[in-house]
Structure 1
Amino acid sequence: MSNAFERSPLRASRRGLIGFSIAATSAAALAACSGEDGGEEVDLDAQSTGAMDDFAADTPFKATEPFTLSVLWTDWPDLPITDTWQFFTEIEKRTNVTFELTNIPFSDATEKRNLLLSAGDAPTVIPLVYTGEESSFVSSGAILPMSDYVEHMPNFQKYVEEWDLGEMIDNLKQADGKYYMLPGLQEVSVPVFTLVIRKDVFETVAGGIPQTWDEMREALVKIKAEYPDSKPLADGFESASLLNFASHAWGARAGWGFGNGMVDDGSGKLEYTAVTDGYKQMVEYFRGLVADGLIDTDSLTASNDGSGGGSVAEKFAAETVFAASGSAGTAIEFAQALNATVGEGNYEVLQIAPPGGPFGQVVEPRNFWNGFMLNAEIKDSEYFLAILQFLDWLYYSPDARELIRWGIEGETYTKAADGTITLNPEYRLDAYNINPGAPTDIQKDLGWSNAVFADSTESRALKESYNAAAFVEYIDSVLSTRTPREPSPPAPLDEMELEQSSLLSTPLKDTVDTNTLKFIMGERDIAEWDDYVAELEAQGLQQYVDLINGARERFEEENS
């Protein structure tokens, strides 16, 4: 396979206001094609080689003429890609599209991706993009304004409307009123990361599953009393996961979800989350847990790989941790570790809804997952329209999403009349502990369920098809007991503002991250909170807040 900066073929032989939202993007597409409203003229008649005349939502895509599409591919260290993966050969067979890969390592994928884009060397399709990551490439013209062309993506439009995501799509707009990436769409808004607990211990020792952080504290105290050598709560993701899903209970944003640091102050303006009362209360809460020996402090500074004195999974197995940050995959990892110590059938692991707090029983909005950007040079391709159709099918068609997750129906899996999917007995999916021991792993050996495409767009049914019954229970618990928090109000910045924002936000965020952990770990007294705020103010905090609020007000005026 190619290294981080080589582009070579896989094989040498292989080449809110829904109505308004859709109408507006369609109008933008038409304007772009005619050269109006700043859009570059695109002659779709001349750039429709390979495109289907009758392409529509929920229909198969097959290019009328074969073409090769260059794709940026992130290599996971534990999932080595091979040129014999059935994923590639089957996509080519069904669609007449051959992938040409530029491979980059997972360890520094974001940096390598950004360097390729900045140098003008990026392939056509840039997957694994999360909302907000596109902003820095807008002013350079390196990426395509996707909103100009979604008229030609019927699957995307259909599921934006059916899943009521139009207002969130509008929030992707940049300062010019266009959006430059398309996210993966999730039918249900359920946080990916939350707490994974020893359900049996919480029920027998602590009296049940905590619904709030106050109840969680009470439970941890009881578990600590029963298991005195334990520090029952852990993170394992350098505190970024725990603070992310916990922060919403205090009306704040932290960890992975910090973003630009701005939250609605309740009056329509934005304020910097890290100086709010809610953020301080969150910090004080976790400081109290550390002071009482209820948190494994190593897990707040180390990644979940054992570098901090043993992985969280090992501590779960040793019964020194009983609740930790994680996803459905983490729950499987913990269960496998417990099998070797406690023994199968002697425990129960459960992923629970993030606890609530003073701000209510709220969770982060999670209707978007990773999506993609397109190199702006695609506008010059004779296959321009066909590429749009192919990506619309690949990312948003239910049939394509099922194919990418499970492989070939009738070969790797079967599907019952009620929609239930069963992996055939000769195949396994280790990542989700399905058919363990079967000879062929559909992910490692065949490329299905790969990390580049599989986790993007999902209906609820598809999400439930490969997860354990406990995860279905988790979805139900979140949907029935928690309310997704309103997305942060959009405040898109123009080119000059982006540069100014970067200069201000980076040192501010560094100060926040450093001192948040110091306060929680007890390395800095919470009595120095005002001094901490003064340090941020000396770094230009008010200037940054005014900059973002100015962009917010302008966006509201221009899009009212």
Structure 2
Amino acid sequence: MNNRFKKLFYMVSFLSIISLLLVACNNSEKTEGSKKAEVPESENAMDEYVVGDQFKAKEELTFSMLFSDHPNYPYDKNWLLIEELKERTNINLEMTVVPMSDYAQKRSLLISSGDAPLIIPKTYPGEETPFVASGTILPISDYVDLMPNFKDKVEKWEIEPFLEGLRKDDGKYYLLPGMHENVWPDYTLAIRTDIVEELGMEMPTTWEELEKVLVAMKEAYPESIPFSDRWEFNSTLNVAAAGFGTVAGWGLGSALKYEEEQDEFVFAPATDEYKSMLTYLHGLVEKGLLDPESVTQDDDQATKKFINGDSFVIGTNSQTVVDYRKDMNETLGEGNFSIQKIVVPGGPAGQLMGGSKLENGVMISAKAKDDPNFEALLQFVDWLWYSDEGQEFAKWGVEDTTYTKNDDGKRVLTDDVNYVGLNPNGTKALNVDFGFSGGNFAYGGTTELLHSMFSEEEIEFQNAMRDTKELVLPDPPIKYEEMELEQANLISTPLKDFVGTATYEFILGDRDLSKWDEFITELESMRMQDYVDLANEVYKKQK
């Protein structure tokens, strides 16, 4: 073997060894990354904790928690909720109480400064995103093996497709969402059924049929504007959008919509479907059927028109329809009217319904993983927010004190307890006086539990929606990396602001629909295509 060949041989051998070492290191890193996060052993956690177990720490513990304080049922440290929770779980909660109006801002400040409590509830999907890069909140998906009730519901209720939307570019999610067994719609339209019957018409099932009803109402009551809306029209835009095959209002989100056939995202407000929805709504305004003030008036103004009989249709949910009825008993007189929630009308795209099985949920501070009782904390959160028993407790309270069960297992509030009109003669409120059914704990659960506090009217609405609507599954997630997310937000924020203004202008006629192409040109000048291209690039990369 000559010297030149020897040198070449040794160099190739050396490089081969280096390559093998690099591959081994890389594989080792991947293996390490796929391991379950290690959790320090907690002396006070339950040794055996499975679905159906009542969690109780071995010794009395205290965990810090952020609390969103609702002005209608302010926090009271003497609530039965707090007392009973300690009795059942051996856990004290050290509350940082923040007014609901300041909650999001205060939560952000506490997390950013490193002073956040360990348990951070009342966080809606997406609100955790700003805290991911800093490492101040826990990648909780690494630890859900210690939360049997959470895992059980994810599997039984087929929650995984919805969790996908929470995962970040590292494949982890940082929020424990509230979870419902089924998608449940709440917002729709309330309509004066007595007027519909007076006109000899059927309840509308499509937007086209609704327009015919509004026309008849206007002809019979020329001084009225049949449809005067609240919530700055955002609710109606949201519920109407699904039937028109688009997204809008409260449901605008990123303003991107996934097109399955093309396997790509489009900018929804630039589509023919969005234009079709605006054309329909503008037609209602032009014919005097929809109040132009719907996009600007406050809720009290809209409600006043409805309860005084100046309008006959308004946006509603399960609670506001009860409020309307109560107020109208005073203004129009009991027995002189009838109203109900109608099934959301279908549109050109069909009888479709958007929605999610996820609710607001809980973030865990990254500091928690260093707490010697971290495992006990996870067991506590798992029991209170995700077990059947914990969810029933947070919603209904203590059996034989705040509620009883009849022979059929139906829950009934005790004689002196009222909640959302279920027991009007009750002198004490379930949330105000006892702390139950509040926004920090009581959300998510089985459909049976959800329906347990609904009126028969609301259950009929839910069943009708379920029986007549096809659920639109959530779009696949776009898992931006930090810099990509910053770029997407930079472009999308002014785009969506512009869309919001232009949407109202088109509906009211201040912007002519015949000039739709000019609207598209303006969107393009604001880098709409860059935004869409970035989204599709990230989506295809993650696939």
Asked if TM exceeds 0.5, the reply is yes
Q: Using the alignment, how far apart are the partners of 1:474 and 1:116 within structure 2?
A: 41
8 A Cα contact 1:137 1:143, kept in partner: yes
Pair 1:203–1:148, CA change in 2 (3 A): farther
8 A Cα contact 1:313 1:333, kept in partner: no
8 A Cα contact 2:244 2:277, kept in partner: yes
Show the counterpart of 2:272: 277
362, 376, 380: which one pairs with 2:370? Answer: 380
Q: Using the alignment, how far apart are the partners of 1:116 and 1:80 within structure 2?
A: 21
Deviation at 1:140, TM superposition (A): 1.6
**Is the counterpart of residue 86 in structure 1 residue 80 in structure 2?**
yes
439, 452, 472: which one pairs with 1:451? Answer: 439
Q: Using the alignment, how far apart are the partners of 1:232 and 1:103 within structure 2?
A: 43
8 A Cα contact 2:54 2:383, kept in partner: yes
26, 32, 38: which one pairs with 1:36? Answer: 32
**Is the counterpart of residue 183 in structure 1 residue 177 in structure 2?**
yes
Show the counterpart of 2:232: 238
8 A Cα contact 2:204 2:210, kept in partner: yes
Q: Using the alignment, how far apart are the partners of 1:490 and 1:128 within structure 2?
A: 22
1:385-406, Cα deviation, whole Å (9 max, x unpaired): 1111111111111111111111
**Is the counterpart of residue 255 in structure 1 residue 249 in structure 2?**
yes
Q: Using the alignment, how far apart are the partners of 1:81 and 1:321 within structure 2?
A: 38
Letter paired with 1:372: V
8 A Cα contact 1:206 1:219, kept in partner: no
Deviation at 1:303, TM superposition (A): 3.7
Show the counterpart of 1:551: 538
Show the counterpart of 1:302: 297
Larger Cα Rg: Structure 1 or Structure 2?
2
* Structural mapping, 1:222-371, within 5 Å: 222-265=216-259, 266-304=261-299, 306=300, 310=301, 312-371=302-361
* Structural mapping, 1:431-510, within 5 Å: 432-454=420-442, 456-510=443-497
Deviation at 1:490, TM superposition (A): 0.8
Q: Using the alignment, how far apart are the partners of 1:40 and 1:397 within structure 2?
A: 23
Letter paired with 1:256: W
SS in structure 2 at match of 1:37: helix
Runs (4+) of structure 1 moved beyond 3 Å? Answer: 38-43
SS in structure 2 at match of 1:36: helix
Pair 1:121–1:97, CA change in 2 (3 A): same
**Is the counterpart of residue 59 in structure 1 residue 49 in structure 2?**
no
Deviation at 1:91, TM superposition (A): 1.1
Q: Using the alignment, how far apart are the partners of 2:105 and 2:269 within structure 1?
A: 26
Of 294-303 and 141-150, deviating more is 294-303
Deviation at 1:38, TM superposition (A): 7.5
Show the counterpart of 1:408: 398
SS in structure 2 at match of 1:387: helix
Q: Using the alignment, how far apart are the partners of 1:206 and 1:369 within structure 2?
A: 41
Pair 1:412–1:547, CA change in 2 (3 A): same
Letter paired with 1:350: Q
Q: Using the alignment, how far apart are the partners of 1:243 and 1:152 within structure 2?
A: 41
Letter paired with 2:50: A
Q: Using the alignment, how far apart are the partners of 1:57 and 1:293 within structure 2?
A: 57
Pair 1:109–1:35, CA change in 2 (3 A): farther
* Structural mapping, 1:103-118, within 5 Å: 103-118=97-112
Letter paired with 1:97: I
1:505-534, Cα deviation, whole Å (9 max, x unpaired): 111111111111111122211122222221
Q: Using the alignment, how far apart are the partners of 1:95 and 1:206 within structure 2?
A: 59
Deviation at 1:480, TM superposition (A): 0.4
8 A Cα contact 2:179 2:357, kept in partner: yes
- Structure 1 residue runs of 5 or longer lacking an equivalent are 1-33
**Is the counterpart of residue 121 in structure 1 residue 115 in structure 2?**
yes
Pair 1:159–1:204, CA change in 2 (3 A): farther
Letter paired with 1:73: F
SS in structure 2 at match of 1:371: strand
Q: Using the alignment, how far apart are the partners of 1:318 and 1:470 within structure 2?
A: 23
1:425-473, Cα deviation, whole Å (9 max, x unpaired): 11111xx21211322111111111112222x212111111111111100
Deviation at 1:97, TM superposition (A): 1.3
Show the counterpart of 1:167: 161
Letter paired with 2:273: G
Pair 1:335–1:155, CA change in 2 (3 A): same
Q: Using the alignment, how far apart are the partners of 1:436 and 1:387 within structure 2?
A: 38
Q: Using the alignment, how far apart are the partners of 1:408 and 1:246 within structure 2?
A: 40
Deviation at 1:365, TM superposition (A): 2.2
Show the counterpart of 2:202: 208
Letter paired with 2:490: L
Letter paired with 2:406: A
SS in structure 1 at match of 2:332: coil
Q: Using the alignment, how far apart are the partners of 1:206 and 1:135 within structure 2?
A: 52
Of 318-327 and 99-108, deviating more is 99-108
SS in structure 2 at match of 1:238: helix
Letter paired with 2:40: L
Q: Using the alignment, how far apart are the partners of 1:546 and 1:164 within structure 2?
A: 31
SS in structure 2 at match of 1:171: helix
TM-score by length of 1: 0.88
Q: Using the alignment, how far apart are the partners of 1:467 and 1:411 within structure 2?
A: 20
Pair 1:498–1:452, CA change in 2 (3 A): same
Letter paired with 1:512: V
Show the counterpart of 2:7: none
- Structure 2 residue runs of 5 or longer lacking an equivalent are 1-29
TM-score by length of 2: 0.91
Show the counterpart of 1:50: 44
Structure ranking higher in helix proportion = 2
Q: Using the alignment, how far apart are the partners of 1:386 and 1:443 within structure 2?
A: 27
Identity %: 39
**Is the counterpart of residue 146 in structure 1 residue 140 in structure 2?**
yes
Q: Using the alignment, how far apart are the partners of 1:357 and 1:539 within structure 2?
A: 30
Deviation at 1:40, TM superposition (A): 9.2
Q: Using the alignment, how far apart are the partners of 1:129 and 1:302 within structure 2?
A: 29
Pair 1:38–1:57, CA change in 2 (3 A): closer
